[in-house]
A and B are shown apart, each in its own frame.
Chain A
Amino acid sequence: EPEVTQTPSHQVTQMGQEVILRCVPISNHLYFYWYRQILGQKVEFLVSFYNNEISEKSEIFDDQFSVERPDGSNFTLKIRSTKLEDSAMYFCASRGAKGNTEAFFGQGTRLTVV
């Protein structure tokens, strides 16, 4: 069964460092998402990506964040200068087409900023 895969599963980084979280969406999907979940809190939308550009983003997704689909398979989230409050689980998701289709999530990357 096709699945969304994320790497690494856990990343520890020092405050101020750049991190790149990687995702391989399901191969024939067209919409890609990043969500985050701070421990004990709700799943929060960061950004959606379609047709090689950002289609929606939340207030959380500020200038420190960027996304890229460099090679037609990987979908990355970069945080330029990490803060302690960026510590969270980051989930990638993909969806087939606009309309009534379902989004599937990767297993997540736990980011710990120290």
Chain B
Amino acid sequence: QSVLSQPPSASGTPGQRVTISCSGSSSNIGSNTVNWYQQLPGTAPKLLIYSNNQRPSGVPARFSGSKSGTSASLAISGLQSEDEADYYCAAWDDSLNAVVFGGGTKLTVL
């Protein structure tokens, strides 16, 4: 059981906008920044969003992040087939003194 909660799956058609939620608590998302990772099949994870809503250079503007209270969201607009991947949220947890992850969301582009 992951400390952060994500839906196990999400889907959309090309061009659509999809959002993936990440729910935590006051000791993690509520008091620390959230990072999002994309993992394409058979590859190492890639940093997609850091500090709740910042995109590393090279990440398309189609990807955006937000945080409110103890929840965070990743939004992908203009969905493309190459966005089919697993997405993970992560944050530092002050109570556990640990980085905690969501269980991951498998995004399918229909």
A binds B: no
